[in-house]
Structure 1
């Protein structure tokens, strides 16, 4: 005899509808005008369904980013075989995004969600700097870039780059031409 499952069952279709609705509303209205009520109405679910899975709208937005539903892959690290060129392009794209109201709002909401919920912070860190992205690319570049020798602390280098981006987002410091190159020179050493 099988006992009925206790607790709510998470519907993948409802989860995807919620993420799609949140991403669409975020693009249309911005983070400040995004509400759980609006997400629920657009997704065709009850607000309680959303709160059962996510504690805040920041957490929903974080999940949207982690699931690739925001920014059309703009945060993907390119892989041309030239790590310095790839990192320059990646940082330049992030800095350009920070100069848009939507990009700044999304990044600040992710920071808030990560600060509020440890699991979101861990997932965001793994997504941005984990083995599949920044740290992994730096590991594969060891020996191909001056000042990136065998045994280079790639995780710390990745965290340094991510930290610089987050500080820019929080401080709303203006982005100047060449900032990506100067940051890479500081972290990886001057390009030769």
Structure 2
């Protein structure tokens, strides 16, 4: 028998309350002190309700982060790179937006927690990469592919390598807090990577 509309709405409300509670709590107490019991209490549901849908707090937090990313798109974010014809400007737009997101604890706290948890939990790390990280990196690759097709990058350019050259230093500075994370730093990364590509003529397939 199908669920009644009211039951479905209640279920959806409960799921969203759980996801919102996980996001709020990880920002308040950190991942290590986050518990299923605390999430359940904040969401106003029973602990078994959470375990019916998720096997662990990490799984709850991953789905909460995915929901948060979806909310950002709905609230005026974009699902693809801008393509103004100016590769450097387009990359800087996205990198600056990433800096702003990293500075917002609403996004940064769950992302930092999942990154740390994924380092010691290979299964979680793989899910985090597949469901949250890879779709974002694919947007970079798609924009770089357009630039490559336009002759702005070498035909055999390793696009994933270029993406990692851009995103890697930004993420490193954010995770380890090795220096200020600013728009100027993001711009310098873009300028440095593109200047390097121009300087060597091409980025060949990595081995």
Give the structure-1-normalised TM-score: 0.69
Q: Secondary structure of 1:30's partner?
A: helix
Instruction: Tell me if 1:149 matches 2:146.
Output: no
Separation in structure 1 between the aligned mates of residue 187 and residue 124 of structure 2, nearest angstrom: 30
Instruction: Tell me if 1:182 matches 2:179.
Output: no
CA deviations over 1:50-85 (Å, ceiling 9, x no partner):
346545434322222234456623585533344432
Instruction: Tell me if 1:22 matches 2:24.
Output: no
Instruction: Tell me if 1:100 matches 2:83.
Output: no
Structure 2 stretches lacking a partner, 5+ long: 1-7, 199-207
1:122-133 → structure 2 map (5 Å cutoff): 122-126=126-130, 127-130=132-135, 132-133=138-139
Separation in structure 2 between the aligned mates of residue 117 and residue 19 of structure 1, nearest angstrom: 25
Instruction: Compare CA radii of gyration and give the structure with the larger one.
Output: 2
Q: Secondary structure of 1:78's partner?
A: coil
1:49-64 → structure 2 map (5 Å cutoff): 49-51=49-51, 54=54, 56-64=56-64
**Corresponding residue for 1:115?**
119
Separation in structure 2 between the aligned mates of residue 20 and residue 81 of structure 1, nearest angstrom: 39
**Corresponding residue for 1:171?**
176
Separation in structure 1 between the aligned mates of residue 174 and residue 78 of structure 2, nearest angstrom: 15
Q: Secondary structure of 1:151's partner?
A: coil
**Is contact 1:40–1:47 with CA below 8 Å preserved after alignment?**
yes
Return the offset for 1:132.
4.4
Separation in structure 1 between the aligned mates of residue 69 and residue 43 of structure 2, nearest angstrom: 14
Moved more, 107-116 or 129-138: 129-138
Structure 1 pair 100–66 and aligned structure 2 pair: CA distance change class (3 A):
closer
**Is contact 1:58–1:113 with CA below 8 Å preserved after alignment?**
yes
Instruction: Tell me if 1:37 matches 2:37.
Output: yes
Separation in structure 1 between the aligned mates of residue 197 and residue 162 of structure 2, nearest angstrom: 16
Q: Secondary structure of 1:150's partner?
A: coil
CA deviations over 1:145-185 (Å, ceiling 9, x no partner):
73x22221112222333322321221123123411111112
Moved more, 107-116 or 127-136: 127-136
Separation in structure 1 between the aligned mates of residue 123 and residue 89 of structure 2, nearest angstrom: 32
The structure in which a higher percent of residues are helix is 2
1:132-143 → structure 2 map (5 Å cutoff): 132-143=138-149
**Is contact 1:76–1:90 with CA below 8 Å preserved after alignment?**
no
Please tell me the root mean square deviation across aligned C-alpha atoms, in Å. Answer: 3.6
Separation in structure 1 between the aligned mates of residue 134 and residue 58 of structure 2, nearest angstrom: 20
